[in-house]
Amino acid sequence: MEPTYYTVQKLDGDYAILISDDGVENRVARALLPEETDEGTRLLCEFFSYSIVNS
């Protein structure tokens, strides 16, 4: 599985709406994301694990 970069577009209750660098929207349970995730946060998804990317 290729690493995928996302930007958190919106936090919606127990879910986050993520947009990949390719423009694909993905809805993910917030429980899967790092605790400090907020709108605008850049994330890297590798092997179904999300981490914050420092730009």
Per-residue pLDDT of the chain (55 residues; tens, 9 = 90+): 789 999 999 999 999 999 999 999 999 999 999 999 999 999 999 998 999 998 6
User: Phi and psi for 18 in degrees, rounded to 5?
Assistant: -110, 145
Spell 39-49 as b/e; 16+ CB within 10 A means b.
eebebebeeee
Q: What is the CA radius of gyration of the chain?
A: 10
5 DSSP β-pair partners: 44
Predicted TM-score (pTM) of this structure:
0.90
pLDDT at res. 55: 62
For residue 32, the 8-state DSSP code is: G
pLDDT at res. 54: 86
Domain 4-52 sits in CATH 2.40.50:
yes
